[in-house]
Structure 1
Amino acid sequence: MGNHVHEPREHEWVTLRTFDDQIAAEMMLNFLRDHDITVTVLGNSVATTMLNRFNTVLDIRLAVPRDELEQAREALRGFEPEGELEQQPFRGPMPYRTKGKRPKEDPTEDEEPVRRRYRRAAFALAWLLPFGGGHFYAQHSAAGVVFATAIVGNTLLLMTTGDSKIGSLVFLFVAADAITAPFAVARYNANQVPGASAQIGRAVFTLAAAWVLALICVFCT
């Protein structure tokens, strides 16, 4: 994500939005620039590696000159549907996710801040980290383990046998992760992440469907 900006003259920078997702930050940065709004990037460097994405919270901040703040806010209302903008930094405190309960206004020891995930990021990570990366990003760890086991296991089998049919199966497993991970992100954002058993069941069903599709393709060739 580039960091080329038109430096404002004698203006104070004010944080407009914060992100923990590089792709979403890039999209909004380009959107603001397209609307002739002066904007710069603060916080984490965009060189932060994708492999640390699951363990390190990215802190990417878009800042604008104070005298362009209202103009930037108005532009954001056209960027995202009403109600999609996070509350921070202008709309009150960040909500909290309670494990197994509805979100509350005040955090307690068993609560953690809600950090929105993005469907496009889940789809991209499934291909960039082809071992269940899409579902791990969506905080569906049990499903991620199932996808990782199937993909890595068949990849090792492919390396041993060199069978191109197994290669096709691995591709379909990765594609299955990429296609279904955005739905997992939607469940996470709605605070409806299912339990481990339900995640495993869905993942196994998806992989079975991919395996059947692979068989069909073999018979058709």
Structure 2
Amino acid sequence: MTLRTFDDQISAEMMLNFLRDHDITVTVLGNSVATTMLNRFNTVLDIRLAVPRDELEQAREALQGFEPEGELEQLPFRGPAPRAKTGGDEEDDDTPIRRRYRRAAFALAWLLPFGSGHFYAQHSAAGVVFATAIVGNTLLMMATGNSNVGALTLLFVAADAITAPFAVARYNANRVPTASAQIKRALFTLLAAWALAIIHDRFFESYT
């Protein structure tokens, strides 16, 4: 019987390993859990974990202790997931959301350094701002060979990785900001990273 469906590889792998650690027989249906990370952005993944009927109750009991990042995942047999809301939209809809993982957002920001942390958290406007800054700085570094530009690019990637988990928390709580609010937050974060780079350079120069 199908116990849980996923649309991202990391979530499926975490629950698959958890159930197997508890000696529960699990079968993977749909897309393979081995699907590459890049496919998360190119295709719709449909990963399903199924267990034998006689182990269903045992699996459900085990999952009560499955709390990645301190948050209990909402399982299919506990009812539909909360409805997603966009900032400024007062009307409810019946579209269920797939809860995201803060750890996955942090990892994706480093693995695919073009705002992927915020794209994963469904903060597309912020993701575009981070992507523009990171890609633009990378091209500038390649054209000028300036190591300072490269260091700033790394700070921008770090800024995406550090703030993306907070974006995931907002998404899971159905509090995704409006596009303009996302852009303001992203620009403020990038400005803070730029200021940190300047302070570091000044401090370093004073001791050399």
TM-score between the two structures when normalised by the length of structure 1: 0.83
1:60-103: CA deviations, max 9, x gaps? 11111111111111100111289833241x12344433551365
Contact 2:105 2:116 in 1 (8 A): yes
Distance of 1:144 and 1:97 partners within structure 2 = 19
Pair 1:150-2:133 in alignment: yes
Report 1:43-122 matches (<5 A): 43-80=30-67, 84-88=72-76, 90-99=77-86, 100-101=89-90, 103=92, 107=94, 112-122=95-105
Contact 1:44 1:58 in 2 (8 A): yes
Distance of 2:180 and 2:81 partners within structure 1 = 30
Contact 1:122 1:134 in 2 (8 A): yes
Equivalent residue number for residue 23 of structure 1: 10
Q: Which moved more, 1:128-137 or 1:76-85?
A: 76-85
Q: Secondary structure at 1:184's aligned position in 2?
A: helix
Q: Secondary structure at 1:117's aligned position in 2?
A: coil
Identity %: 78
How many residues align structurally? 201
Distance of 1:28 and 1:87 partners within structure 2 = 11
Distance of 1:181 and 1:51 partners within structure 2 = 18
Distance of 2:42 and 2:173 partners within structure 1 = 22
Equivalent residue number for residue 11 of structure 1: none
Pair 1:170-2:159 in alignment: no
CA deviation after TM superposition for structure 1 residue 178, in Å: 0.4
Q: Which has the higher helix share?
A: 2
Q: Which moved more, 1:39-48 or 1:59-68?
A: 39-48
Larger RCO, structures 1/2 (Cα 8 Å, 6+ apart):
2
TM-score between the two structures when normalised by the length of structure 2: 0.88
Contact 1:54 1:136 in 2 (8 A): no
Contact 2:125 2:182 in 1 (8 A): yes
Alpha carbons of structure 1 residues 102 and 36: separation in structure 2 relative to 1, 3 Å:
farther
Equivalent residue number for residue 183 of structure 2: 200
Q: Secondary structure at 1:169's aligned position in 2?
A: helix
CA deviation after TM superposition for structure 1 residue 55, in Å: 4.9
- Where does structure 1 lack aligned partners over 5 or more consecutive residues? 1-13
Distance of 1:155 and 1:218 partners within structure 2 = 19
Contact 2:73 2:99 in 1 (8 A): no
Distance of 2:103 and 2:181 partners within structure 1 = 24
Q: Secondary structure at 2:190's aligned position in 1?
A: helix
Contact 2:83 2:97 in 1 (8 A): yes
Q: Which moved more, 1:116-125 or 1:41-50?
A: 41-50
What is the aligned counterpart of 1:41 among 28, 42, 45? 28
Q: Which has the higher strand share?
A: 1
Pair 1:32-2:19 in alignment: yes
